[in-house]
Structure 1
Amino acid sequence: MMFLRYAVYRLFTMLITLFVVSILVFAIINLPPGDYLSNQIAELRATGQAEGVAKAEFLRTEYALDRPIWEQYLIWAGFAPGPNGFSGLLQGDFGWSFEFDRPVAEIVGDALWLTVLVNLAAVLFVYMIALPLGVLAAAKSETWVDYTAGFIGYLGLATPNFLLALILFYYGHKYFDLPIGGLMDPIYEGEPMSWPKVKSILLHLIIPTFVIGTSGAAAMMQRLRANMLDELSKPYVETARAKGMAPARLLTKYPLRMAFNPFVADIGNLLPAMVSGSVLVSVVLGLQTIGPSLLTALKSQDQFLAAFILMFVALLTLIGTMISDLLLVLLDPRIRYGARGG
């Protein structure tokens, strides 16, 4: 019952935070002078294209860009009626992309779930690599195992993602016949889901998962190793060792559980870091994620497209943070006690 109350409380705080983030995102997007349509109108007037100016002016009115910034926000979020009534984020209308001349929902439709898929695969890769290597490095401290794991970690941190992408792009195809670019074969784009399409996606995921997850796995491995070494040096471990507890049980019973807390807490930071870190990788590898669209939207001041993508990244961040908080409450009795005390 206490856990359910805490989960409801975290959900409520997440929604409040998302509301505040939406204000900040919309304000920051509109900080640069002008917008896509204003810039377009200036160019059209300079070239004497009266019809284009009329269309751009119509779009400014249609999407309330001629109104004060606070009113634009309320209409965009769906809190106030616009020219077409209540039609904002709350109603499922993500706005119009002026750069692509299409609804934002059409542009990001497939890209959203592909972005989530790529980054979930990268998160799983991070944990599958960092957990065993971090524990092994701590258990075999100052041995060749520790030094090898440390070298792998530093190599992963020092190698830029885009450079690693280019290397694997070439050698993965040359020696392992892995597909080049994209997240599926072109013949499956726009097609309904099927087993051949799933196999194509899984095959295309290998290189992006490795590239995006490498630096995160290296950093997390180093943190887990440091936390484990700190726990292994505490008196309760020496006492358990003196009483003859088996080394494997000694390692996993308490030290790993205590060192695992920051490991779980990193979920909240890992998801947005993966999304933001995969933008350049997505461009290099030609991935159909939201990264390239965000880059284009920011360059052209396509405010509705950029704002929605940033809100999506913020939502991933908040969901990741909530998941990590709930897992910590389940894993650590001290946190549960603290929740009751609050």
Structure 2
Amino acid sequence: MGILSYILQRILLSIPVVIVISIICFGLIQLPPGDYADAYAALASSTGGGSVSTEYIEQIRERYGLDQPFWIQYWKWVKGFPEGDFGIAMSLQGTPVAEILKERLPMTLFINFWALIFALAIALPIGLYSATHKYSLLDYLLTFIAFIGIAIPGFILAVIIIAISIFWLDSSYIGKLYSNEFIGKPWTSDKIIDFLKHLPAPIIAIGIAQTSNTMRIMRGNMLDVLRQPFIQTARAKGLSESAVNWRHGARIAVNPIISRIGVYLPEIIATEMLVSIVLNLNTIGPLFYDSLIAQDMYLAGTILLIISVILVLGNLLADILLAISDPRIKHELM
């Protein structure tokens, strides 16, 4: 079986997985007691809007089909997927979910992508260096920093970044993704520059935990590889220590990191959701939180499904990259 056949097989196996995930996602959103109509009535009462009549609540249920059985509601939701129709956001005056995601999802993916690149770009070389300089003073220092990074949640780090920026750096580039004067404006060179100035804070807050975790994993992988017989053989042939470490050891040590890409993606997205709420970013994090509070099943279910699909795609991508990068797997597929 060739690599292309392997990729096709993995894609076909992913289809029923996504279908099952969609059912689970839609069911999870409906598990809490009540529905959007009840949440709407509670919100109106708590904000001083007065009590909502039972007749009006029933009208809301009938308008959005909330009084229908689960399977009918689920079918109404998924039948429009091929056309890009994910239902309407009841909590946002009936705005199509696809229209809302079109505005926020690209920015979310952009930030998560660069947070992942940030984590890997820092963690891989530091992990390799720490392994090849085992028990040195710098190794101990890097290990200590890594444990601190793992211990601090992303949203706490976001608060720390805000505090440092405001009280010590006197920076106005914390919170949101661009300044108020650029909100709702088309992308220009000035807006792009302003956006880039706002970008480091969320990327660091989101990526630092993965950086620390990946660094520890890479160090452990490299130490295991350096004890393998083929490394001793390479040294016996007279290869330089740098060639042994970087050309032979690093190639094998990085494979478990590649296989974890499917895990990294949902972890980074989960961190991004919390960080985006703290930093008030225009991504799906605050949107997902608000939709859960409002029990907006179509909006919350779609966001949860997208996150789950990203997990499936991440695992698929990891399998493909591992098949390409690992000669042993590539040989088995040929």
Change (3 A) 1:222 1:9: same
> Do structure 1's residue 68 and structure 2's residue 33 form an aligned pair?
no
For residues 26-51 of structure 1, what are the alpha-carbon distances to aligned partners after superposition, in whole Å with 9 as ceiling and x for unaligned? 11111222211145468989x6755x
Shift of 1:93: 1.9
Query: Which one of the candidate residues 121, 124, 131 is aligned to 1:131?
Result: 124
Measured after TM superposition, the shift of residue 13 of structure 1 is: 2.0
Shift of 1:120: 0.6
Quick one: which of 183, 187, 192 aligns to 1:193? Answer: 187
CA gap of 1:69–1:249, structure 2 versus 1, over 3 A, is: same
Q: Find the aligned partners of 1:283 and 1:40 in 2 and give their Cα distance.
A: 22
CA distance in 1, matches of 2:238, 2:43: 80
Partner of 1:85: none
TM-score w.r.t. length of structure 2: 0.91
State the partner residue of 2:163.
170
- The offset of 1:109, in angstroms, is 2.9
Gaps of 5+ in 2: none
Once the 2 structures are TM-superposed, how far is the Cα of residue 218 of structure 1 from its aligned partner? 0.3
Q: 2:40 & 2:281 partners in 1: Cα distance?
A: 29
Identity %: 35
Q: What is the aligned partner in structure 2 of residue 108 from structure 1? A: 101
Q: How many angstroms apart in 1 are the aligned matches of 2:249 and 2:170?
A: 40
Asked whether the 8 Å contact 2:35–2:66 carries over to 1, the reply is no
State TM-score, norm by structure 1. Answer: 0.89
CA distance in 2, matches of 1:151, 1:186: 39
Query: Secondary structure of the residue that 1:230 maps to in structure 2?
Result: helix
Question: Is residue 221 from structure 1 mapped to residue 215 from structure 2 by the alignment?
Answer: yes
Aligned to 2:82: 90
1:261 to 255, 266, 287: 255
- The match for 2:91 among 96, 99, 109 is 99
Aligned counterpart, 2:36? 36
* Distance in 2 between residues matched to 1:210 and 1:225, nearest whole Å: 21
When structure 1 is superposed on structure 2, of 220-229 and 160-169 the one drifting more is 160-169
Structure 2: how far apart are the matches of 1:152 and 1:98? Answer: 45
Structure-2 separation of matches of 1:176 and 1:138: 38
Is residue 158 of structure 1 aligned with residue 146 of structure 2?
no
Whole-Å Cα distance in 1 between the matches of residues 58 and 43 of structure 2?
Answer: 13
Which structure 2 residues correspond to residues 222-241 of structure 1 after superposition, within 5 A? Answer: 222-241=216-235
**Two-structure CA RMSD over aligned residues (Å):** 2.2
Counterpart for residue 204 of structure 1: 198
Could you tell me how far apart the structure 1 residues matched to 2:181 and 2:15 are?
40
CA distance in 1: counterparts of 2:107 and 2:326, whole angstroms:
34
Alignment gaps of 5+ in structure 1: 79-87
Q: Secondary structure at the match of 2:91?
A: coil
Q: Is the Cα contact below 8 Å between 1:37 and 1:98 reproduced in 2?
A: no
Higher relative CO (Cα under 8 Å, sequence separation at least 6) belongs to 2
Matched position secondary structure for 1:142 = coil
Task: Deviation per CA, 1:50-103: give whole Å up to 9, x if none.
Answer: 5x844x54443343322211111111101xxxxxxxxx3332222222222242
8 Å contact from structure 2 (residues 262, 317) kept in 1: yes
CA shift in 2, pair 1:234/1:195, >3 Å: same
* Residue number in structure 2 paired with 1:82: none
Aligned equivalents of 1:329 and 1:279: distance in 2?
A: 31
Q: Shift of residue 262 of structure 1?
A: 0.9
The residue identity in structure 1 corresponding to 2:26 is: F
Report the residue type matching 1:232 in the other structure. Answer: L
* Matches of 2:42 and 2:257, distance apart in 1: 52
| Alpha carbons 2:178, 2:195 under 8 Å: kept | yes
Post-superposition Cα deviations, 1:282-309, rounded to whole Å, max 9, x if no partner, equal 1111111111111121122111111011
Amino acid at match of 1:198: I
Pairs aligned (count): 328
